[in-house]
Amino acid sequence: MKRFYSFLSIFILLSLSLTACATLLPQPAAPEEAAEPGNMPGNMPGSGVVVEEVVEQVVVGQGTGEAGPVTVELIGGDEAALREFISRYITYPGSDAEHIRVYLGSLPPEFSYDLPLPEDARVIGSVQQTSYAQLQVIQETSLTPDEVQTFYAEALPAAGWTVADTAYGGGFVSADYSATYCQGEEIFLSVNAGVLPEGKTDVRVFVQASQGYSPCAPNAEYSDPLSEMIPALKNPPGTRMSSSGGGGGSSDSEAYNETHLTGDISAPDAATYYNDQLSAAGWTLVESGSADGLGWSTWTFTDADGDAWAGTLLVSDIPPGSGKLFAYVRVERAP
């Protein structure tokens, strides 16, 4: 699903660029009114978008990957061809019944929930899906990722959203992760913010209706109490979590989480950054140490029932001198 949205947002941005050629290109006939998408989040007064002059080949910066910036180059075709390509790419013949609406440069025309936007936000587009009862709003702002999260932490509760009463735990998370916000027990919202070139920030707001599980109405069937004992650990500044190679697991007496990082930071310094977060979460440091390409620490803490637990953190260069780090955190019942 993550890959789906990543590619879709790129194509949305390219479509927006092509709309600047509207006066030069023949306009496609207006499609018939689509069927109502059913019980979905969506719909607030639209917001316009300013599109700069388009050159024949369009290169769009979309964040930074492990090997450098991700760029998209558009070659050939026209607006009608691109619109047809998008509609074909995001659907597949024979799949389950689905209705997808893509709003270029705006929010849906009507919206039943108050969704604040940063003052300088430029809406790239919005995507509605019936199968997941989901709305994604893609926007750009000059706020930093941290400032984006601070904005929504203040603006959403003022707009009637409440923070989900669930602990964000389970180990390593991207520094741009957000809390989950609720409208009742059925509708929940989250915000992701990532750095773009030239001091801009890509902001993705996801609004979704419950599909059986909702963080706004926790169900013990879906919980993992041991994994949730591990605090959420944000990656150090200047690093990125790998999109592969991470994971975790748990049993009746222990749980672990691991990830891979890239960036200009040593293993001991990364371990120190994680140690500060463990200490802030109420863990008590027993011992810590470092060596060339290695940082580690051991901990103790008690759970809500007063039971004692032990924790271990390990960060290592893999392979040495590669600029890539492996991070591992573990909890287990104290002996």
**98-137 confidence digits (pLDDT tens):** 788 899 999 888 777 788 999 999 999 999 887 667 899 9
Is the N-terminal amide bond of 319 cis, ω within 30° of 0?
Answer: yes
Tokens of 272: 């120190």
**Separation between Cα atoms, residue 51 and residue 140, nearest integer Å:** 13
| 55-63 long-range Cβ contacts below 8 angstroms, 24+ apart | 58/14, 58/17, 60/10, 60/13, 60/14, 60/17, 61/196, 61/197, 61/198, 62/9, 62/10, 62/13, 62/196, 62/202, 63/194, 63/195, 63/196, 63/202
The per-residue pLDDT for 246 is: 66
* C-alpha dist (Å) from residue 251 to 72, 126, 254, 256: 44, 40, 5, 9
pTM for this prediction: 0.60
Tell me the mean pLDDT in the region 81-90.
85
The per-residue pLDDT for 3 is: 38
Query: Taking the alpha carbons of 204, 158, 228, 208 in that order, is the dihedral positive or negative?
Result: negative
Nearest CA to 309 out of 248, 256, 258, 267 is that of: 256
Lowest mean pLDDT among 10-24, 235-249, 275-289, 310-324: 10-24
Tokens of 55: 């050159």
Tokens of 296: 């580690």
Tell me the mean pLDDT in the region 224-244.
80
- Going from N- to C-terminal start, the domains of the chain cover 2-209, 223-333
Tell me the mean pLDDT in the region 172-185.
79
Domain covering 223-333, topology: Protein Transport Mog1p; Chain A (3.40.1000)
Residue 55 clears pLDDT 70, i.e. is over it: no
Res. 219 pLDDT band, cuts 50 70 90:
low
